[in-house]
């Protein structure tokens, strides 16, 4: 089976990890801060905090933005469940904004309408989680202008988008957001096994996130309530978590970051081949807008089922049976049983639901060989015609 994604690991990665294993510190040495610096310099953000997953990064971002019971977090229904669950961890409520059928990202028009309605009904969100779906940036300039008008904070869930750009600047520079979070799960742009990172330009948020990522414990005299002059002394000043990344993982992250640009370039090369070789088929690909350089995390196609004699799942199964590891990103979050129990239902976000009836992710990762691209295209032609 050709998988839909696969990590790229080379000898340099292996050696870097082995070096840490042979060193004194497997965690809480200085490799994590070195990795944080690499991501900070790459994105142009001023502060960075490594975490043990993208999910814990989302949780910490919500906590630092003071998301509480009684508050609302809005996100897109077409995302991984973690983009919404982070609100529930904080006791807050979740709502969704339907997608744009062409970009598959949150619709800026729908967001505007929903904000105007929420303003009148006094139920504006405190936090908006935008997801750069497949690596394609959302319309951040417009969304940022709306955040100024309606007074909400913005988290960029850039788990698909590390290595991408928006208006010539790297995703993660936080020009139009409060924080950006990344994941380093093996299917993402770079990997540390499990892992994540939060970047921000806000020193107060960064300090709070760092504190909460490690039990709420500080050794910084300026942050302590009492002045006890003993070298063992530390204080727990908040209820934090153990969301730290290990030095073993960070070492892998550093060597992976050396190859990020070539990873993304190769992803674009394959995507362009798909664009050309699939152009005759009754499918639609994501409309990759001009002002953005996608992180190209996923290549999603939408089947034009009215022009095809088979069903969505027939085509999906046929491809899988023929060795093509297609996938589906994602089942709309509001249709998950956990969310349906909160009152969401079919019909709530029609564009997301229509997308779900038609979507399919085809394989895309840097080491996918050209001859596999040809095989995938042939199988797609056979399955769809
Ligand atoms: C992968 C992913 C996450 C979660 O990241 P983990 O590191 O797996 O916790 C969150 N949001 C999106 C959009 C993702 O793709």
Tens of pLDDT, residue by residue over 47-65, are 999 999 999 999 999 999 9
Query: What's the 130 CA to ligand 1 centre distance in angstroms?
Result: 13
* Calpha distance 151→145 (Å, rounded): 10
Tens of pLDDT, residue by residue over 101-119, are 999 999 999 999 999 999 9
Nearest ligand 1 atom to alpha carbon 195: 7
Nearest ligand 1 atom to alpha carbon 196: 7
pLDDT over 90, % of the chain: 95
Q: Is 180 in the pocket of ligand 1 (CB under 6 A)?
A: no
Query: What's the 205 CA to ligand 1 centre distance in angstroms?
Result: 21
Query: What's the 55 CA to ligand 1 centre distance in angstroms?
Result: 6
Query: What's the 76 CA to ligand 1 centre distance in angstroms?
Result: 14
* Calpha distance 322→266 (Å, rounded): 25
Tens of pLDDT, residue by residue over 206-217, are 999 999 999 999
SS3 for 157? strand
Tens of pLDDT, residue by residue over 242-268, are 999 999 999 999 999 999 999 999 999
pLDDT of residue 290: 78
- Residue 227's pLDDT band (boundaries 50, 70, 90)? confident
Tens of pLDDT, residue by residue over 130-158, are 999 999 999 999 999 999 999 999 999 99
- Residue 228's pLDDT band (boundaries 50, 70, 90)? confident
pLDDT of residue 28: 94
* Calpha distance 198→206 (Å, rounded): 8
Cα radius of gyration (the chain): 22
pLDDT of residue 229: 75
Q: What are 57's two structure tokens?
A: 């990064």
Query: What's the 106 CA to ligand 1 centre distance in angstroms?
Result: 17
Tell me which of 76, 185, 192, 329 to substitute to probe ligand 1's pocket, judged by most ligand atoms within 8 Å of the beta carbon.
185
């Amino acid at each position: 089976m050709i998988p839909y994604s696969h990590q790229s690991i080379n000898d340099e990665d292996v050696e870097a990890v082995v070096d840490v294993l042979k060193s004194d510190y497997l965690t809480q040495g200085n490799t994590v801060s070195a990795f944080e610096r690499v991501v900070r310099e790459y994105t142009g953000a001023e502060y960075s905090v490594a975490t043990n997953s993208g999910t814990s990064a989302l949780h910490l971002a919500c906590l630092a933005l003071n998301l509480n019971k009684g508050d609302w977090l809005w996100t897109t229904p077409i995302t991984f469940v973690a983009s919404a669950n982070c609100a529930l961890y904080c006791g807050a409520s979740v709502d969704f904004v339907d997608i744009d059928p062409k970009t598959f990202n949150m619709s800026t028009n729908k967001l505007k309408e929903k904000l105007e309605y929420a303003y009148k009904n006094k139920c504006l969100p405190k936090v908006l989680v935008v997801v750069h779906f497949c690596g394609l940036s959302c319309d951040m300039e417009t969304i940022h202008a709306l955040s100024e008008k309606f007074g909400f904070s913005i988290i960029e869930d850039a788990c698909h988008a590390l290595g991408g750009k928006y208006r010539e600047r790297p995703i993660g520079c936080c020009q139009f957001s409060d924080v950006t979070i990344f994941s380093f799960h093996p299917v993402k742009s770079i990997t540390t096994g499990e892992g994540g990172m939060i970047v921000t330009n806000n020193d107060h948020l960064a300090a709070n996130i760092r504190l909460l990522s490690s039990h709420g414990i500080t050794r910084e005299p300026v942050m302590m309530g009492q002045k006890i002059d003993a070298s063992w002394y530390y204080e727990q000043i908040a209820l934090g978590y153990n969301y730290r990344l290990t030095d073993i993982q960070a070492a892998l992250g550093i060597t992976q970051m050396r190859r990020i640009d070539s990873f993304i370039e190769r992803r674009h090369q394959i995507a362009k081949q798909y664009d050309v070789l699939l152009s005759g088929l009754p499918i639609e690909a994501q409309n990759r807008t001009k002002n953005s350089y996608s992180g190209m995390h996923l290549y999603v196609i939408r089947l034009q089922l009215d022009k095809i004699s088979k069903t969505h799942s027939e085509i999906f199964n046929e491809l899988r049976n023929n060795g093509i590891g297609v996938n589906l990103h994602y089942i709309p979050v509001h249709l998950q049983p956990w969310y349906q129990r909160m009152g969401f239902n079919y019909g709530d976000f029609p564009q997301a639901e229509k997308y779900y009836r038609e979507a399919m992710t085809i394989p895309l990762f840097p080491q996918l060989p050209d001859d596999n691209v040809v095989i995938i295209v042939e199988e797609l032609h056979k399955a769809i015609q």
